[in-house]
Amino acid sequence: MRYLGFPGGLAVFAAVYFAPAPAGLAAAGQAALACFLLALVWWVTEPVPTFVTSLTLIVLLVFLDVRPSDDVLGVLGLDVIWLNVMAFVLSSILIKTNLAKRLALGLVTRWGTGAIPTLLAFLVLQLALAPLIPATAARSVITLPILLVVAAIYGASAETPNNVGRNLFLQSLLGINIFSSGFMTGSTANLIALSFIFGMTGKKVYYSDWLFAALPVAITAMAIAGWIGPKLLFRIEPENLKPRIAGGMETFREELARLGPLSAMEKKGAAIFGVVIFLWVTDRFHMGWFGFEISPVLAAIVGGIIAFLPRVGILKWSEADIPWNLMLFSAGAYAGGLALDSTGAARWVIGKIFAAANFGPGTSFWPVYMAVIAINLVSHYFFTSKTMRTIIMIPFIIGIAQQLGWNPLWLALPSAFTIDWVIGLPISGKPNVIFLTTGQYSVLDNVKYGAVMTIVGILLFWAFGFTWFRFLGVTPGFGS
């Protein structure tokens, strides 16, 4: 793949860039699509390091006049890049203070003696965090240091990745995103979708409506993901099912006991994390309390400031383990995604897909429902922002339902349930970018797992649309 990937990326770029200008797509959009596809081929096949591909993409976007230089280079100032940096600062706190080790040992000793129960433990953790913290990136930051230590216990690291680490990180990534779809408060994109539904149709969706309809889909999907990963895609060999430390679980219990009670350093680290998590969880109250809102990024920066303060803090800059090469990868990835958005290339691709479906008067509901669900789930491959995707897709879908004379909720609400399924690419969502920086899995691993689960998601939403959603009235009832 490395040998074929380099010329393959150039061939894809040339085929798109030098093709006759498609109707409705500006020249900048065509160039953005060509650049992005070249980078995507190289990210997957890795003929050069991923950060070199990102730097190449940044240069091409400027040289080909896709976006101004300031806009392209300005991606290093995006909140997701800052959150990436602060995620590793906060992770360094947990590692230096031994809090990460204590949490990891406690989790492993409580949840059994093998890799499979450990995978389940982290899925349960993500399910519990989803309704409490709407920022998926914040949930990634909270669990990242624990995941790193547990992966090391099973012999997985950036230098020596194995299938335990691949399953551990990719399943946690899937859990963060997919479980977000189970709760109205699981993501701000969910709330934006509901605001469109209410504003355009006057129909209000309650928390319980969303919960009873969407959560069973999310739990079923993650149960399938928990089986597909270690059993089919990344099979865990029998010798890797047990921790790679002589003495088995007793060793972990002894190690946990040797840590003793919480040290002063650990208490400081816990207090810093407590402040950050408190600010994340209570974001909806900030305006009333402080007169201004503290975003998840700024909350993480506040934690970093405290950690670096003399005497009060616990970190030196040299102790913050930040992988800057992977920050450059993230910057290039977002530059490409924003170029697709700003030039209209993403909207053009989605519009062409809907036009090809040829919806018109007299069309039966169920073929339209199946097409809308499939298109909406696949559309996350063309966007790096759930918010942007929501703004483009949901009003368009409501318009289709109204044009065909149907209750708009029948299409719009199930489509809103799919918004958080940003699982296909490392740039599809902020957690994806954050987790890829660990080096525990490759871009291709993410693509593989994400593609399989996207197909699973389409089939699940079809099946639930015909059955459970009809029972609840989310789609046309059995008597309709």
In whole angstroms, give the CA distance from residue 47 to residue 11. 14
Whether residue 445 contacts residue 234, with contact meaning beta carbons closer than 8 Å, is answered with yes
- Contact criterion met (CB below 8 Å) for 178 and 218: yes
Q: What are phi and psi of 114, to 5 degrees?
A: -135, 175
Token pair of 417 as six digits: 């349930």
Handedness of CA 176, 177, 183, 188 (dihedral sign): positive
| Amino acid at residue number 79 | D
How confident is the prediction for the chain on average, in pLDDT? Answer: 83
Q: How far apart are CA 420 and CA 376, in angstroms?
A: 11
Tokens encoding 399: 């318009």
pLDDT digits (tens, 9 = 90+) for 187-239: 777 877 887 787 777 777 887 888 899 999 999 999 999 999 999 999 988 77
Residue indicated by tokens 């709330």:
191
Condensed to tens digits (0 to 9), the pLDDT of residues 392-439 reads 778 778 877 877 788 888 999 999 999 999 998 887 888 888 898 888
Give me the mean pLDDT over the 79-106 stretch: 75
What pLDDT digit, counting tens, does each position of 365-403 carry? 898 899 899 989 998 887 767 776 776 778 778 877 877
Task: Name the nearest CA neighbour of 90 among 129, 137, 43.
Answer: 137
Report DSSP letters for 291-360, one per residue: SS---HHHHHHHHHHHHHSTTT----GGG----HHHHHHHHHHHHHHHHHHHTTHHHHHHHHHHHHH---
Among candidates 47, 56, 20, 10, which has minimal Cα distance to 336?
56
User: How far from 15 is each of 35, 37, 38, 85, 430, CA to CA, in Å?
Assistant: 11, 10, 10, 37, 30
Reported as a single tens digit per residue, the pLDDT across 51-69 is 899 899 999 999 999 999 9
178, 222 Cβ separation under 8 angstroms: yes
Among residues 189, 209, 210, the alpha carbon closest in space to that of 136 is found at: 189
| pLDDT for the residue numbered 162 | 87
Phi, psi of 407 (to 5 degrees): -65, 120
Nearest in space to 381 (alpha carbons), one of 372, 393, 389: 389
Q: What pLDDT score was predicted for residue 252?
A: 67
E strand or H helix that includes residue 105: helix 99-110
State the pLDDT at residue 80: 64
User: Which two structure tokens, joined as six digits, stand for 345?
Assistant: 């290339």
pLDDT at 77: 82
Question: What pLDDT does 358 receive?
Answer: 67
114 touches 249 (CB < 8 A)? no
What is the reported pTM?
A: 0.68
More confident residue, 171 or 256: 171
Which among 335, 274, 349 is positioned nearest to 66, based on CA atoms? Answer: 335
Best-predicted range by mean pLDDT among 14-28, 286-300, 370-384, 450-464? 450-464
Which element (helix H / strand E) includes 208? helix 207-228
What's the CA gap between 420 and 428, in Å, rounded?
A: 10
69-73, 194-198, 273-277, 333-337 — most confident range: 69-73
Give the pLDDT of residue 350.
65
**What tens digit of pLDDT does each residue of 125-150 get?**
888 878 766 678 777 877 887 788 78
Residue 82: pLDDT band by 50, 70, 90 thresholds?
Answer: confident
